[in-house]
Structure 1
Amino acid sequence: MTLSFAYVQYCDADAAVDAYQTLDGKHFQGRLLHILPASAKKTYKIDEYELSKLPLKKQREIKRKQNASGSTFSWNSLYMNADAVMSSVAGRLGVSKSDLLDPTSSDAAVKQAHAETHVIQETKAYFASNGVNIDAFKQRERGNTAILVKNFSYGVTSAELRSLFDPYGKIIRLLMPPSGTIAIVEFAHPDEAQKAFKGMAYRRMGDSILFLEKAPKNLFDASAAPRTLAPETRGKDQGFSTADTFAADEPDDSVGTTTLFVKNLNFSTTNEKFLEVFRPLDGFITGRIKTKPDPKRPGQTLSMGFAFADFKTKGQAQAALAAMNGYKLDQHELLVRASHKGKDAAEERRREDNAKKVAARRTKIIIKNLPFQATKKDIRSLFGAYGQLRSVRVPQKFDHSARGFGFADFVSAREAENAMDALKNTHLLGRRLVLEFVNEEAVDPEEELARLEKKVGEQMDRVKLQQLTSGAGRKKFTVGGQEEE
């Protein structure tokens, strides 16, 4: 059954008016055409004035939703069928799943987390060796030709998956790691991938149901390499830092490089806005605003006020310098100069050494989204496999129930880094662990909770003391006596 209406969009508004006036009321295949002007898609965004008239609770709810939709999030594309993970590991060891997990043991969940961690690490290594950009999984933007196939049972072969997806179009590549728990299918054309996604999503295959997810954009290094990067810069880090700020102050009439240094940027200018301004220039390849970690917001970055722009040829870079020097962007006049990579190398090495020294002090990891059933023993068993632990803490509430987070403090920073890299995509008792290094300058959540509990206890003692002394006559009482009972 097909719908009895359609949309037609013209590039020119006059052409749309002519089509409307000519074809409205005409006969087409036995039907009378009735043409109406389409309206723009309705949006339900609320402005600041309308938001201010709502109740405070509703305002906070709307702002939380807006912040959640605008912020970057980490989507765990490597999540795998737990049964398939255990079947894969058990099959390699030549034992049954029951022998591997040992149902009589109290740490079966930890063993399952270790197995998932091992399979994820192996999967990443396999994908990296086959041209997959692992860092692309951290991006939010999705591509339109590659599909992640997940949640299928252990034992499914790549040939079986190919036979399922072949009817939808030409498959460029199909990657399945040795563990056989996840696969990537890339089509030649976006429309073929779209048809496959709609046709195969939630399709039953064996004992499981297929979960499909659009793969991130620029997933394969091979497809990203042919872009218009200059041969001397392809696949290499430019290694720029603040040393260019001083080099840019020196007059330089000729441009001997294809990279321009842009300073005096507004700190609120985003990288997207910077690219939007420089992209129309002839020969522009790519640009980036240098950032640094935000000490007040872990995981976020701050602009350093300068950026770099790469061009195909030196002549095009010279023309861009003449055009953009003094250009006003976000109320700031840009100062554009040629980049001096040679002078910057020593400064970049010093900056990296300082970063390593700071990282060397990061030994404590905070474990968020921790299952409430998890104990200190589970945390020690899971994290202790990657190094020697100095301490493990799982804060509790007044009723001795878990708060949903914990701490693992390692003896050395290298061991903490190993645990972070290995366990950042691991699930424990069905919940994905969210790991972050504890900032030494930040307030320790557990110490803050203890301080608040002590403050509340002191306030309760003062209230009891006031109630006892407010009546007529003298009364005998003992402060803190409830603690001795």
Structure 2
Amino acid sequence: MEVEADGKMAQELKADSNDVLDTGRLFVRNLPYTATEEELMEHFSKFGEISEVHLVLDKETKRSKGIAFILYPIPESAARAMKELDNSIFQGRLLHILPAKHREICLSVALPNRNDASNLPKTFKQKREEQRKASEAGGNTKAWNSLFMRPDTILENIVRVYGISKSEFLDREAEDPAVRLALGETKVIAETKEALAKAGVNVSSLEEFAAGKGDDKLRSKHILLVKNLPFASTEKELAQMFGKFGSLDKIVLPPTKTIALVVFLEPAEARAAKKGMAYKRYKDAPLYLEWAPGNILELKTLPDNNEKKSDVGENDARRINLEQQVQIDPDITESNVLHVTNLSFKTTDEGLKKHLTKLVKQGKILSVKIIKHVKNGKNLSRGYGFVEFDSVETATSVCRDLQGTTLDGHALKLKFCENKRSDTVGKSSDKDKTSTKLHVKNVAFEATQKELRQLFSPFGQIKSLRLPKRNIGQSAGFAFVEFVTKQEAANAKNALSSTHFYGRHLVLEWANDENSMEAIRKRSAAKYMDQENDNRKKRKSSKVVDESRMKFESIAE
């Protein structure tokens, strides 16, 4: 009897393992009611990457039912997790893990009427919508642009400001309708960012993800970005549409109506809203949804008011703040490295980094280094150091907001470093170095040099503008714009980084200065080395020929 029971159990385990290898989805029960999705993600991610964690909640109380579904993109990871964690202890409870069916199969069983609708022939739009949803469900986020704005909504904003009609603004007889629309979009983007910042939104995180520099793993689980909104959108209508899926914390809708943030209280409800509202038509446009950056609503951490400050520290802080008002140089502020002085000799690298991390409202600290010297066999601080940040914007905000903050009884004094100083704390890439020249990519072939000059001239005096062409006379799709000062180039780069021109998203990067003395020296040195290598090859080949000739003559004799 025991042998039969063991054989039956082995067959069940084998069947369970096969089911998991088919779906990659686990059903976990007997969970603690206080467990969160983040804790489950951390506990189960030891066995592989996880696509989704769904903690089932009671619709009335919004509390956990003690069950969850875990989805792995690689089924073998799910099988390994089930084998290792089944009947294991998690937060004082014994977990019971079973294979789960595909979500689509569960829905078809629970809602049989859906099968009848799915058998009907589908239109091209419905098929394309299903492909988009399936692609995003599979983790494809390449098409996401956090700052995407509907062109018609941008146009509505422009004509509202100037009090004209769309036909007047887009007059066919006008010479520069594309330039008008691009500059109008730039203005609307600036207004949107300003309104979002006032509402407590971390705009820099949006810009980072819009530029493709953000990490998809750091996206929020309960905040949705709603894009492609019509200009007639209202906060009340959005609340009614998304409120059907769960409890809303708040909705952030700037006056430009170009983008909105919908904040849910529970991640499961946010996921349901994303699946139900993605590409759904609202008024005359489909809605584009994506997960917002995880730190999009992070507020600035204020220093502790109870912290004891010495009289000397308070006086130093007042003096430093007064000095800071007159010491900011536009060219120097283009560095992402700060020079920190007036440090206590007791302050360590870790202490300085911890102090800054607590107070930095956005961005990241890349490295911290306090300069030291050796005395009596000990490394002693010189009272100053360098801090490198992930961007110029982060360094600028830190220099202004944290000027004069007290650490170990000393009021810190922050100054911008020149770019060459960054070598002391880490080499920065050439792409991060500022210049007076911009490399503009993804330029439409219809764009002319005159239109590009009209587009960039509002941000400063243009020294030169080149629009290279191919042999057939058509534009090569990129351009070089040089300004008189670095600040003017930086203004243009920041303002036009999300702008579309002739329907194309302009990509702006710092151009290498080909006419600088350093570049000329490098080209001359490379040319000289090439000539030397050619001469060596010629001498070597002639030597081989001479030796072979001598051998041939000796044999002939």
TM class, shorter-length: 0.5 to 0.7
Deviation at 1:241, TM superposition (A): 6.3
Inter-partner Cα distance in structure 2 for 1:431 and 1:113: 10
Of the three residues 226, 243, 247, the one matched with 1:149 is 226
Q: Map residues 303-452 of structure 1 onto 2, 5 A cutoff.
A: 349=415, 351-352=417-418, 362-440=435-513
When residues 126 and 231 of structure 1 are mapped into structure 2, their CA distance, relative to the original with a 3 A threshold, is farther
Q: Is 1:126 aligned to residue 199 of structure 2?
A: no
CA–CA distance in structure 1, aligned partners of residues 157 and 337 of structure 2: 45
Q: Distance in 2 between matches of 1:421 and 1:74?
A: 22
Q: Map 1:3-402; keep pairs closer than 5 Å.
A: 7-9=26-28, 16=86, 76-137=145-206, 138=208, 139-140=214-215, 141-222=218-299, 225=301, 259-260=350-351, 291=366, 349=415, 351-352=417-418, 362-402=435-475
Alignment RMSD, CA only? 4.9
Q: How many residues align?
A: 324
Q: For the structure 1 residues 144 and 383, does the alpha-carbon distance in structure 2 shift closer, same or farther, using more than 3 Å as the test?
A: same
Q: Which amino acid aligns with 2:461?
A: Q
Matches of 2:158 and 2:184, distance apart in 1? 7
Q: What is the Cα deviation at residue 342 of structure 1?
A: 5.6
C-alpha distance 256-343 of structure 1, shift in aligned 2 (>3 A): closer
Aligned in 2, Cα 1:418/1:285: closer, same or farther, shift over 3 Å? closer
Mapped partners of 1:191, 1:400: distance in 2: 55
Q: CA deviation at 1:77?
A: 1.3
Contact 1:204 1:210 in 2 (8 A): yes
Give the Cα–Cα distance (whole angstroms) in 2 for the partners of residues 229 and 371 of structure 1.
54
SS in 2 for 1:168: coil
339-348 or 399-408: bigger deviation: 339-348
Q: Which moved more, 1:412-421 or 1:364-373?
A: 412-421
Bigger mean CA offset, 151-160 vs 336-345: 336-345
8 Å CA contact retained: 2:280, 2:287? yes
Structure 1 alignment gaps of length 5 or more: 19-34, 39-71, 233-238, 263-277, 279-283, 292-303, 309-335, 448-485
What is the distance in 1 between the residues matched to 2:501 and 2:229?
Answer: 20
TM-superposed CA distance for 1:412, in Å, is: 2.3
Deviations along 1:161-200, one digit per CA (max 9) or x if unpaired, are: 1111111122212111111121111111211211111111
Q: TM-score under structure 1 normalisation?
A: 0.55
**Is the 2:301–2:359 contact (alpha carbons within 8 Å) kept by the matching residues of 1?**
no
Name the stretch that deviates more: 345-354 or 165-174. 345-354
Identify if the C-alpha distance between structure 1 residues 7 and 432 changes in structure 2 by more than 3 Å, giving closer, same or farther: same
Report the residue type matching 1:158 in the other structure: E
Render the CA deviation track for 1:272-310: whole Å, top value 9, x for unaligned: xxxxxx9xxxxx97999965xxxxxxxxxxxx7x669xx
**Partners of 1:393 and 1:211 in 2: how far apart?**
37
- Look up the equivalent residue of 1:427 and give its one-letter code: H
Structure 2 CA distance for partners of 1:355 and 1:420, relative to 1, 3 Å: farther
Which residue identity is paired with 1:200? M
Call closer, same or farther: CA 1:339–1:193 in 2, change over 3 Å. Answer: farther
Taking a change above 3 Å as real, the CA distance of residues 409 and 183 of structure 1, as seen in their structure-2 partners, is same
CA contact (8 A) 1:154 1:181 kept: yes
> Structure 2 CA distance, aligned partners of 1:377 and 1:111?
13
State whether residues 289 and 307 of structure 1, in contact with CA within 8 Å, keep that contact through their aligned partners in structure 2.
no
Q: C-alpha offsets along residues 92-141 of structure 1, whole Å, 9 cap, x if unaligned?
A: 32221011121222321111111111100000000111111111120233
**1:241–1:347 Cα contact (<8 Å) kept:** no
Q: Report if aligned partners of 2:436, 2:483 keep a CA contact under 8 Å in 1.
A: yes
Contact 1:392 1:407 in 2 (8 A): yes
Give the aligned residue type for 2:451. Answer: D
In structure 2, do the counterparts of structure 1 residues 240 and 146 end up closer, same or farther at CA, with 3 Å as the change threshold?
A: same
Cα deviation for residue 225 of structure 1 reads 3.5
CA 1:341/1:116 → structure 2, altered by over 3 Å: closer, same or farther? farther
Q: Which amino acid aligns with 1:438?
A: A
Whole-angstrom CA distance in 2 between matches of 1:197 and 1:403: 40
Q: Distance in 2 between matches of 1:370 and 1:432?
A: 8
Identity %: 32
How far apart in 1 are the matches of 2:238 and 2:154?
Answer: 18
In 2, the alpha carbon distance for the partners of 1:350 and 1:369 equals 33
Which structure features the higher share of helix residues? 2
Distance in 2, matches of 1:74 and 1:200, equals: 17
Report deviation, 1:435: 0.6
Q: Report if aligned partners of 2:437, 2:513 keep a CA contact under 8 Å in 1.
A: no
1:24 corresponds to:
none
Task: Say if 1:240 and 1:348, in contact at 8 Å, map to a contact too.
Answer: no
Deviation at 1:230, TM superposition (A): 11
SS at match of 1:77: coil
List alignment gaps of at least 5 residues for structure 2: 1-21, 30-42, 44-81, 89-97, 102-140, 209-213, 309-335, 371-377, 387-410, 423-429, 521-557
